[in-house]
Structure 1
């Protein structure tokens, strides 16, 4: 094949070859093929004066589609189709919140865990958001909390997320936050309660504050907290975010309201994918047949 060939067919062949194997005998995973493919396309365009031609984006999109189909084609080759939704994070549910709260110890770390989980669930937080919050970014108002998210993954992430007080104080994020902040002020050095201090801090087994939490420590905490509570489907760092979307959908909340609360674009494909977890059961042809 000519080195400067940039047709759709040549790029698809390149992607297929990456799947078959590299020099070390191992093929690229579908999620890893995009970067080398982008490099090829950019390189061909830079060499346009030497005769290389890339026909718009059709070659790249076609080869991406080729890569996207690998998992299913391989499953079919093994005699079974890929399971829809495989690998997706489990969604946190309200029943899980009760389990988590009841499993938290009566310690500073336990109160921190309650506040972290309950507030993160109610504004569909990614792991990096609570890790980036400062104490001054969370304000107590008459109807609940206002969480000022100043950074995020997309332009829609920056927002003032309002968290309402809930009817049941046991899993109310506002009550959990107030208890946590009061205990932190009573048991930790005053500097950890200042407006410029991290909103959520690491705490060692002796109850000493070790510093602000980072995204990885938030993710590990979410996993640990769910395991301690015996949640049937173990949580990941994304479970609380998905949980707000699916629970809101079950409760009939407006999609725009859910998007604004969680920092999604109002027609987000990922958010609509979370909705399908609910709709696939509620609007199922087998629902309520007997």
Structure 2
């Protein structure tokens, strides 16, 4: 929003009001009529300030999701020759069917789960831009998506990658033994072993500073920024493990020693990124970001010969399933990984274990 004023009409004596941000003109007019132009300007500036604060505090991955969703919506509107800010019932229903049919840039249809995420993100962006999106219309579009997805399954179509492969303890041995004796190799060991033990998402290690990982007599305390709820930080405790070869605490200590010896002192400061990028010459290139963490996790698993290549979520699923196999309490697992104690996603991971251990066919003969 600018601080300039503009006429509501070209008539003589027309009321001057501040130029409003997209989607806010009617409200600014009302403020001007109630309180005068100067007060309306201050209120409008406060709205812009609130928008900027929200943008800055919104998690980066959420912002990226909204941005990608909006790009898909604009591609749909261009293809169908529809106005971008008219989110009618028909347009939303057509949008989800278009996504399932040919929505990807390669002409293929999206998986239903991806289409649902895109629909939600597009609605957020539409409302942010001032478009009216009825909850009933959105619900009908989502219902159409779910019904169409069922029909695709009946027709034998299977889309999407499915749930990520879970990292398991035998894989940890393969990983650490495949890591080279370099700074990058030490970083890889620490990234995988610590990430497994605090159930990391890809964005978690990317958001850590060195000072967020504290060494104590009993192990590590990793202060993970969640960015999703009012509980913005969780302190995940990681115990020393019996076997030093796959001990996350020992791996972290070895990585930090090597970083201090081989990189500039600034990379060992508490305010430096906990996990750094390292080029093929052993030079630190900066802090890792979520995409580089995801690529590293996959690369490390492939190098180790893990049967199913990991994704950025494999370590998180691995902690949940491994702890469940070991008989750990569900509440303790939830607290360690930052799940709600009745999380549907966490319980879905448990089903990987329980579906075999508590299966009705187990031990029948």
With normalisation by structure 2, the TM-score equals 0.66
Q: Deviations over 1:207-241 (max 9, x none)?
A: 11111111111111000000000000100000001
Does residue 142 of structure 2 align to residue 64 of structure 1? yes
Counting only pairs closer than 5 Å after superposition, residues 50-129 of structure 1 correspond to structure 2 as 57=135, 60-77=138-155, 80=156, 82=158, 87-129=162-204
Higher relative contact order (CA 8 A, sep 6+): 1
Q: Could you tell me whether the CA contact under 8 Å between 1:11 and 1:59 is conserved in 2?
A: no
1:154–1:228 Cα change, 3 Å: farther
Inter-CA distance 13–217: structure 2 relative to 1 (3 Å threshold):
closer
Secondary structure, aligned partner of 1:92: coil
How far residue 61 of structure 1 moved from its aligned partner, in angstroms, is: 3.2
CA distance in 1, matches of 2:184, 2:248: 16
- SS of equivalent residue, structure 2 residue 261: helix
| 1:141 paired residue number | 216
Q: Unpaired segments of 5 or more residues in structure 1?
A: 49-53
- Rounded to whole Å, the distance in 2 between the matches of 1:261 and 1:136 is 19
| Equivalent position of 1:34 in the other structure | 119
1:179 to 254, 266, 269: 254
Quick check: 2:126–2:132 contact (8 Å CA) kept in 1?
no
* Structure 1 residues 68 and 142: CA distance shift in structure 2, 3 A: same
| 1:20-58 residue CA offsets vs partner (Å, 9 max, x unmatched) | 678x99686333362498479969x9879xxxxx6xx55
Aligned pairs, how many? 273
Cα distance in 2 for residues equivalent to 1:21 and 1:98: 43
Kindly provide the CA deviation profile for residues 157-209 of structure 1, in whole angstroms up to 9, marking residues without a partner as x.
62111001111111000010011111111111111111111111111111111
What is the CA distance between 1:65 and its match in structure 2? 3.0
Structure 1 pair 36–273 and aligned structure 2 pair: CA distance change class (3 A)? closer
Query: How far apart are residue 252 of structure 1 and its match?
Result: 1.1
Residue 285 and residue 104 in structure 1: after superposition, are their counterparts in 2 closer, same or farther (change >3 A)? same
Cα separation, 1, equivalents of 2:121 and 2:221? 43
Q: Distance in 1 between matches of 2:257 and 2:122?
A: 53
Residue 261 (str. 1) matches residue 336 (str. 2)? yes
Calculate the aligned-residue CA RMSD, in Å.
3.2
TM (normalized to structure 1)? 0.82
In the TM superposition, what is the alpha-carbon distance from 1:103 to its structure 2 partner? 0.5
**1:144-155 alignment, distance < 5 Å:** 144-155=219-230
Q: Is the 8 A contact 1:108 1:184 kept in 2?
A: yes
Q: Check the 8 A contact 1:122/1:163 in 2, yes or no.
A: yes
Shift of 1:288: 2.0
Secondary structure of residue in 2 paired with 1:89: coil
Which structure 2 segments of 5+ residues have no match? Answer: 1-85
The 1:47/1:93 distance shift into structure 2, 3 A limit, reads closer
Q: Are 1:157 and 1:262, in contact at CA under 8 Å, matched by a contact in 2?
A: no
Does 1:245 find its partner at 2:330? no
Task: Give the distance between the partners of 2:294 and 2:157, measured in 1 at CA.
Answer: 31
Q: Structure 1 residues 25, 236: closer, same or farther in 2, change over 3 A?
A: closer
Distance verdict in 2 for CA 1:225–1:16, change over 3 Å: closer
Query: Does the 8 A contact of 1:157 with 1:264 survive in 2?
Result: no
Q: How does 1:184-263 map to 2 (within 5 A)?
A: 184-263=259-338
* Structure 2 Cα separation of the partners of residues 174 and 102 of structure 1: 17
Rounded Cα–Cα distance in structure 2 between residues aligned with 1:25 and 1:223: 24
Query: Cα distance 1:70–1:17, how it changes in 2: closer, same or farther (>3 A)?
Result: closer
Q: Does 1:167 align with 2:242?
A: yes
Q: Which has the higher Rg, Structure 1 or Structure 2?
A: 2
